[in-house]
A = this chain, B = another copy of it.
Amino acid sequence: MVERIARLAGSDPRVEVGIGDDAAVLAGGLVLSTDMHVEGVHFRRETLTAAEIGARAAAANLSDLAAMGAEPICLLLALGIPPDFGEIDALVEGIATHEVALAGGDLSRADSLMVSITAVGRAARPVLRSGGRPGDRLVVTGPLGTQAASGYTAPIVPRLAEGAELAGVATAMIDLSDGIATDLRRLAAASGCGARVELAALPVAEGATQEQAACGGEDHELLAAVPVEAPLPAWAIVIGELTGGGAVEFLDAAGVSLDLHGYDHFA
C-alpha cells in the first residue's frame, strides 16, 4: 500500500532516503519515521492499558530508528481521542517510559483511539534495506513469535543498542514488524537478492509455535544481513543467508520450501 504513496511522493535532494525503507534519511544523517496505531486494528482497549498502548506505539516507532542504526533524539505525537477515553496522561506516561523527549504534540477528537508518532533520530551510517549481497549471513536480535504467542500484549523492546552495534557491520537491516516471512522478502527484494532460511534455525520464543515465529507480527526484533568476513555480535542469531537467486525460501526439516506469509494490517 505504501508503494502507492511513494509513486506520488516527489523528491528533494535533501531527502537521501524516502518512502520504502524503515525510515527516511535527510542529508546530514537525520532519520525520521512515522507510524500510526489505531484502535481495533493495532490494539484493543480491552487487552491493553492506556500506558501499554502508549509504550507499544512509541516502541514500534523507535524500532524503525533502531533498524537504521540510529540514535533517537525526540518523538512527536498526534493523538486522536474518542469521547469515552479519559486516560491521556497515562498514555503519554507510557510513551515516556522509553525516555525519549516528546518535542511536539497535537490532539483531536476522533471516533476511535489513534496514536500517530513521528520518531526523529540521527545515524552516522544509516543502514538501508538495500545493501545486502549474496552470501551475507542473516541474523536476528532475539526470539520470534513473542507477540503472536502473547496475543499482542507483551511489552515491545526497541532494539536500539543492537541496531547501533549492527550498523557497524550490516549491509542491510529491517525491523520485524509484520513477521519475518514478510519482512525478509522486503529486505531481499530491496537488496536484489534471494534468501534461504532453515525454519529449524529460527529462535522460537517461549510459548510460541514455529508458525508464530515465522509469520507473527509486531515482534520488532531486527533482521540484518552481515557479510561472512565481518564479526558478529555475541548475541546475534544466524538464521540463514542471502542468495543470488530471486526466491525467498523457508525450508522445513525435509528441505521443502514452504509458502509462508506474515501479517497484513489490510487483510
0 or 1 for each of A86-100: is its CB under 8 Å from B? (1 = yes): 001100110010011
Task: Say how far A18's CB is from chain B's closest CB, in angstroms.
Answer: 5
C-alpha spacing A102/B11, complex, angstroms: 7
Chain A 95-113 residues near chain B, CB threshold 8 A: 96, 99-112
Quick check: A105 and B5 within 8 Å, CB to CB?
yes
Quick check: A18 and B110 within 8 Å, CB to CB?
no
Partner of A104, one of B19, B37, B78: B19
Chain A 103-132 residues near chain B, CB threshold 8 A: 103-112, 114, 116, 118, 120
Partner of A30, one of B30, B36, B88: B30
CB-CB < 8 A to A96: which residues of B?
Answer: 8-10
Q: Does A40 contact B (CB under 8 A)?
A: yes
CB-CB < 8 A to A30: which residues of B?
Answer: 30
Partner of A18, one of B18, B103, B108: B103
Tell me whether A106 and B34 are in contact in the complex, defined as CB-CB below 8 angstroms, given that A8-B89, A18-B101, A101-B18 are known contacts. Answer: yes
Number of copies: 2
Q: Does A12 contact B (CB under 8 A)?
A: yes
User: Which candidate, A69-77, A156-164, A246-254, is the interface stretch facing chain B?
Assistant: A69-77
29 contacts between A and B (CB under 8 A): A1-B107, A2-B107, A4-B92, A5-B79, A5-B105, A6-B105, A8-B89, A8-B93, A9-B92, A10-B99, A11-B101, A12-B73, A18-B101, A18-B102, A19-B102, A19-B103, A24-B76, A26-B74, A32-B74, A32-B76, A36-B78, A36-B79, A36-B80, A36-B116, A38-B80, A78-B116, A110-B112, A111-B112, A114-B116
